[in-house]
Amino acid sequence: MIFEKQTINCRGRLLDLSHPIVMGILNLTPDSFFDGGRYLDEAAMLRQVEKMLAEGATILDLGGMSSRPGAVLISEEEELGRVLPAVEALLRRFPDAVISVDTFRSKVASEAVAAGASIINDIYAGRFDENMFETVAVLGVPYIMMHMQGDPDNMQQSPAYGDVVKDVLHFFIKKLGKLRALGVKDVIADPGFGFGKSVKHNYQLLNNLHIFRMTELPILAGISRKSMICKVLHVNPEHALNGTTALHMVALQQGARILRAHDVREAMETIRLWQQLEAVRHVS
């Protein structure tokens, strides 16, 4: 039997992952694929954070740079200028909030944690910045490593794998070995839906998400309103909530412990329904 890590230590606060939780997405960018530009104003950002926390979000994931297909790389200074004031403003208003910062730069990671962030979420899993693993080890915060083939500006041009599930699993095992050697204790695996994957690749990963449990890491599913839904249903992200909810249930059934979502209330409702199914199954 496989036993995933049941808690992660967020600067002295233990988060219980024995049951699934929701990570609410907060994009501080003008160009994100779904909600870009909505939360650039501090008041709008705080209203959205208040809403997500009230709806049940356990973690808030702040991103200062878009990683949508074709996204342009911004400077480190611009990213810091978006992220740090947001972290500080958020914690002034909600001092108990658990903040994750979505960055692949070690300097941004260091300064964000100094400002009060508790988790680093790296779409490159250390491939962009060779200092990231050592930095996370020193910071002592949980680290989310995501699989991505290529870079945001080219990742969707012609993604190819021998076997996408085996390739992503091998990637995680290799990266985990390096992180453990440096003493990083809390690692979360994100298979990177939509990051260098075709629609078929995405559904192969989702259908086999349980296989990544052999790493004994908590699994994060970042499916919310993505093209793997839109292309199948022939809708745009604005109309992809129903599809998101359907795939969230599949992710939970496959062992996901964190749902990274734009729509917290709906993700929480999916978790509650899954928990009811699990309760009945175990009684039976």
Q: For residue range 81-90, list pLDDT tens digits in order.
A: 999 999 999 9
Alpha-carbon span 226 to 236, nearest angstrom: 9
Within a domain: 12: no
Q: Provide the token pair at 278.
A: 């699990």
CATH of the domain at 182: 3.20.20.20
Residues taking part in catalysis:
226, 260
pTM: 0.93
- Say how many domains are in the chain: 1
Rounded to whole angstroms, what are the CA distances from 43 to 4, 49, 91? 38, 10, 14
Within a domain: 163: yes
Within a domain: 2: no
User: In terms of residue numbers, what domain contains 80?
Assistant: 17-283
Within a domain: 9: no
Within a domain: 193: yes
Q: What average pLDDT does the structure give for the chain?
A: 92
Render pLDDT for 56-80 as a digit per residue (tens, 0 to 9): 999 999 998 877 776 778 899 999 9
Within a domain: 4: no
